[in-house]
Amino acid sequence: MIVINQLLKKLYYEIVEFRLTNFGNISYQKITNDRYFDNVPAALFELWYGNSSLSFRNLGFKYVSDVEQMSNDELIASIYNEFCSIAQLQNIFANFSKQNCEDKY
């Protein structure tokens, strides 16, 4: 059980890092060239700052001390929420990539 818990913690940290690195404000700016966030879609704004359980604000990044105390079930639930959030973010960011391709050609 201890090994599984350690693997779940590692996976949780990796997924959070992936979300923060690939779908945060800086990634948005790099992909869209929207330096001042003038054109942020409402759906993305909600996933960053909204009240949804899947928003950056509510998912946050748990303190290491909190994660270290989490049970396997809590870790699995947190990992699931991260995957759900990332799936929504990927759909939004995919549209930015398509728009950039269309703008170039």
Q: 40-55 pLDDT, tens per residue?
A: 999 999 999 999 999 9
Which sign does the torsion angle of CA 83, 100, 28, 41 carry? negative
DSSP state of 37: -
Q: How confident is the model at residue 99 (pLDDT cuts 50, 70, 90)?
A: confident
Residue 69 in this model has a pLDDT that exceeds 80? yes
Tell me how far apart the alpha carbons of residues 71 and 59 are, in angstroms, rounded to a whole number.
17
In a domain, 103, yes or no: no
The residue type found at 61 is: F
In a domain, 60, yes or no: yes
In a domain, 49, yes or no: yes
In a domain, 1, yes or no: no
Domain coverage including residue 32: 12-94
Residue 101 in this model has a pLDDT that exceeds 60? no
pTM for the full model? 0.88
Predicted pLDDT of residue 85 = 98
Quote the radius of gyration of the chain (alpha carbons, Å).
16
Q: What is the domain count for the chain?
A: 1
Predicted pLDDT of residue 102 = 59
The residues, ordered by sequence, that sit 6+ positions from 50 with a Cβ below 8 Å of its Cβ are 57
Tell me how far apart the alpha carbons of residues 13 and 19 are, in angstroms, rounded to a whole number.
10
